[in-house]
Structure 1
Amino acid sequence: MGRLHATARLARTALASRLLTHGFYAGQDQIMLALDRDDGQTPGQLASRIGVRPPTITKTINRLQGQGFLEKRASANDGRQANIYLTEVGRQAIRDIEKSLRKTEKLAFKGLDKKEQKTLAKLLSRIEANLSATPLPPLEEDELLEEER
């Protein structure tokens, strides 16, 4: 697990370095790409989709809005709710994000042939599925005693 964690951290650092040259901070790319796939999400939907807490997403949305990449619009259905949209500048920036992702991926996979890359993807998918599985509820005391027999 230590090697997996270290590799993930190095990959994120390499990507963050590339993204910074385009004016993005770590994590902002995930919001931008999520909106590119499905524009007009609420902050709560975005937080859920990328796996962060709502206060974190709010700060990042505000920063991206300040940079001119995003805009908030009041929901047509619920005036208390805002939806987040890419601006034209944001749409143009998606290409830079995707280019940074491709270059980082190319660096990470350097020296691995297609078969090795496919095997790695399968193994990582299996690990992800294992770790994201719903944990079983704790056993009751009488069930523990039954297991011991």
Structure 2
Amino acid sequence: MRVNTALNRMSQLYRVAKARRLGELGLHPGQDVLLWTLAQEPDGITVTELAARLGVEPPTATRSLSRLAGGGWFRREPVPGDRRQVRIVITEAGLKLVPRIEDAWNDLADQIIGSATVAERAIVLSALERANDRLRADLGDQAGDVS
């Protein structure tokens, strides 16, 4: 029970702390990952491809993009030869925000790990990666492309 309690509490606290940091950037949790993913594809990506990378359904990706639309962080472009599809392309403003997102992530990770030694950090990271691998294996296709 202690492991379950600790994981549940950590998940809640992490989300609140992350929301606070992202709020300073004008973002909500999830929007950071969406923009970061777009930055990995400077030529753009379709909503369907974006949804698959985020591990969500296309309507969820579309709603998330709608919530972000006012920031000027991406633009929609038609896909040549397929009038039903649009490419989502990160803008210069979006690209400038990505390092600030990464800084927020790094600051949060540093706060969580605290004054752990290099060896202790390696143990924590290894344990977390193995736990994620076991959960992905258990969930199979239901895990999507959650990173």
Q: Same fold (TM over 0.5)?
A: yes
Residue type of the alignment partner of 1:87: T
**Runs of 4 or more above 6 Å deviation:** none
Partner residue, 2:143 = none
CA–CA separation in structure 1 for the residues paired with 2:111 and 2:78: 41
Once superposed, what is the RMSD of the aligned Cα atoms?
1.7
CA–CA separation in structure 2 for the residues paired with 1:47 and 1:23: 22
CA–CA separation in structure 2 for the residues paired with 1:103 and 1:134: 31
If asked which structure has higher relative contact order (CA below 8 Å, sep 6+), I would say 2
Once the two structures are superposed, residues 100-145 of structure 1 have per-residue CA deviations (whole angstroms, 9 ceiling, x without a partner) of: 1111111111121111111111111111111111569xxxxxxxxx
CA–CA separation in structure 1 for the residues paired with 2:73 and 2:15: 21
Number of matched residues?
136
Partner residue, 2:7 = 4
**2:45 alignment partner, one of 28, 41, 47:** 41
TM-score (norm 2): 0.84
Residue type of the alignment partner of 1:129: D
Secondary structure, in 3 states, of the residue corresponding to 1:24?
Answer: coil
Secondary structure, in 3 states, of the residue corresponding to 1:6?
Answer: helix
Partner residue, 1:59 = 63
CA–CA separation in structure 2 for the residues paired with 1:6 and 1:48: 28
- Where do 5+ consecutive residues of structure 2 fail to align? 141-147
Decide which structure has greater strand share: 2
Task: Give % identity.
Answer: 30
Once the two structures are superposed, residues 23-67 of structure 1 have per-residue CA deviations (whole angstroms, 9 ceiling, x without a partner) of: 111110000111111231111211221222222211111122222
TM-score (norm 1): 0.83
